[in-house]
Amino acid sequence: MCGAELKVLPEGVQRVAAFLQDKGHMHAPVMLDDAARTAQQAADALGVAVGQIAKSIIFRRKSDDAAVLVVTSGDRRVDEKKVEALVCLDGKRLGRADAAFVKSRTGFSIGGVSPLAHATPSVTLIDQSLFRFEQIWAAAGHPHGVFQLSPWELQDLTGAPVADLAVDEDDKKRELQRAISLVRLRAPTPDTTLDVSSPCISICRMNASSGLCEGCFRTRDEIAGWSGATDEGKRAVWKIIEQRMAALQT
**What is the per-residue pLDDT across 114-127, written as a single tens digit (0 to 9) for each?**
999 999 999 999 99
By three-state DSSP, how is residue 183 classified? helix
Mean pLDDT score, 182-186 = 95
pLDDT digits (tens, 9 = 90+) for 39-54: 889 999 999 999 999 9
**Among 143, 163, 183, residue at a domain's last position:** 163
* DSSP strand pairing (123-127 vs 162-163): parallel
Percentage of residues in the chain having pLDDT higher than 70: 96
Assess contact for 136 and 103: CB atoms under 8 A: no
Question: Does residue 157 share a domain with residue 60?
Answer: yes
Q: Of 57, 50, 214, 211, give the one whose Cα is nearest residue 133.
A: 50
What does residue 53 show for φ and ψ, rounded to 5 degrees?
-85, 115
Question: Does residue 191 share a domain with residue 85?
Answer: no
3 part of a folded domain: no
Mean pLDDT score, 227-247 = 94
**Among 119, 135, 163, residue at a domain's last position:** 163
Nearest-angstrom CA–CA distance, 58 and 184: 32
Nearest-angstrom CA–CA distance, 169 and 226: 32
37 part of a folded domain: yes
Question: Does residue 74 share a domain with residue 122?
Answer: yes
Percentage of residues in the chain having pLDDT higher than 90: 77
**How confident is the model at residue 192, as a pLDDT?**
67
In the structure, what pLDDT confidence band is assigned to residue 100 with cuts at 50, 70 and 90? very high
How many structural domains is the chain composed of?
Answer: 2
Whether the model clears a pTM of 0.75, i.e. scores above it, the answer is no
pLDDT of residue 93 exceeding 90, the answer is no
Query: Residue 235: how many CB atoms within 10 A of its CB?
Result: 15
pLDDT of residue 6 exceeding 70, the answer is no
By three-state DSSP, how is residue 47 classified? coil
**How confident is the model at residue 233, as a pLDDT?**
94
**How confident is the model at residue 2, as a pLDDT?**
46
Question: Does residue 137 share a domain with residue 95?
Answer: yes
1 part of a folded domain: no
Question: Does residue 117 share a domain with residue 201?
Answer: no
Question: Does residue 33 share a domain with residue 155?
Answer: yes
6 part of a folded domain: no
If DSSP states are collapsed to H, E and C, what string results for 62-90? Answer: CCCCEEEEEEEECCCCECHHHHHHHHCCC
- Residue 243: give the domain boundaries: 169-248
pLDDT of residue 4 exceeding 70, the answer is no
Identify the DSSP state of 196. P
Question: Does residue 187 share a domain with residue 239?
Answer: yes
17 part of a folded domain: yes
pLDDT digits (tens, 9 = 90+) for 130-157: 999 999 999 999 999 999 999 999 999 9
In the structure, what pLDDT confidence band is assigned to residue 36 with cuts at 50, 70 and 90? low
Nearest-angstrom CA–CA distance, 193 and 73: 50
**Among 128, 163, 198, residue at a domain's last position:** 163
CATH number of the domain within which 115 lies? 3.90.960.10
What does residue 213 show for φ and ψ, rounded to 5 degrees?
-70, 135
2 part of a folded domain: no
76 part of a folded domain: yes
188 part of a folded domain: yes
pLDDT of residue 7 exceeding 60, the answer is no
